[in-house]
Amino acid sequence: MPSVFWLPQDDTSVVVLTSAPSALVQADDSQPSLHGGAEEVDEQGVHSIFQLGNGEQVQLLTTGSAPVAAVIPLDLEGFDRLQAVNRLLAGLHGRAIPPDTRITPQQRARAKRMLQTFDGVRDGATQLDIAQTLFRTGDLDRDEWQASSARHAIKSLLRDARGMIAGGYRRLLRHHRRS
């Protein structure tokens, strides 16, 4: 299966690497290898996947030659990129890999339900059928269904699923910030 490479402006977990400044390079300093996964070269540089060793991976964009250093812009997304660099460093040096915090377990479960709901509708199931399957509501008559919180939950899941399918899925690639 071919790898998918996200642009760094879309996915804040892409680690951008460039040639390290000479002031940071020591003669006896050797860097672990970042190669071994899928690669694609374009005008931006070399896109690659680095396996962290815990079943997870991080995407790299290398724009310079070894030895390399990570580029962290000093905007609010810099915090997200620091977390990605922290995960990469942990994987490179055999340390415990911190969790990817872009999506919480609750958000992951909701995304799964959104897709299940959308797939059900696409396959011809009614919203009531989907609610009975996802929420185990049992048999509901018309009046019970009209007043059911499950009905409103299904409508909300469908609305959000359509938004995700229309391109909103890119929000999953970024950390969520409170305004």
SS3 per residue for 33-87? CCCCCCEEEECCEEEEEEECCCCCEEEEEECCCCCEEECCCCCCCHHHHHHHHHH
Q: Per-residue pLDDT for 36 more than 90?
A: no
What does the pLDDT look like over 59-82, one tens digit per residue? 999 998 888 999 999 999 999 999
What does the pLDDT look like over 120-150, one tens digit per residue? 999 999 999 999 999 998 899 999 999 999 9
Across 24-28, 106-110, 145-149, least confident range: 24-28
SS (H, E, C) 76-138: CCHHHHHHHHHHHHHHHCCCCCCCCCCCCHHHHHHHHHHHHHHHHHHCCCCHHHHHHHHCCCC
Task: Identify the bridge partners of residue 63 per DSSP, sorted by sequence position.
Answer: none
Who's near 98: CB < 8 A, 6+ residues apart? 83, 86, 87, 90
With 0.85 as the threshold, say if the pTM is over it: no
Q: Which two tokens stand for residue 111?
A: 């995304």
What distance in Å separates the CA atoms of residue 71 and residue 111, rounded to the nearest whole number?
31
Q: Are 76 and 177 in contact (CB under 8 A)?
A: yes
What distance in Å separates the CA atoms of residue 175 and residue 39, rounded to the nearest whole number?
26
Cis peptide bond N-terminal to 99, omega within 30: no
For residue 116, the Cα-to-chain-centroid distance in whole angstroms is: 19
82-103 average pLDDT score: 92
Rounded to the nearest 10 degrees, what angle do helices 149-165 and 127-134 cross at?
A: 100
Q: Which two tokens stand for residue 63?
A: 């724009």
Q: Per-residue pLDDT for 4 more than 90?
A: no
The pLDDT, as a whole number, for residue 168 is: 83
Q: Per-residue pLDDT for 29 more than 70?
A: no
User: What single letter denotes the amino acid at residue 174?
Assistant: R
DSSP state of 172: G
Q: Per-residue pLDDT for 158 more than 90?
A: yes
151-157 average pLDDT score: 95
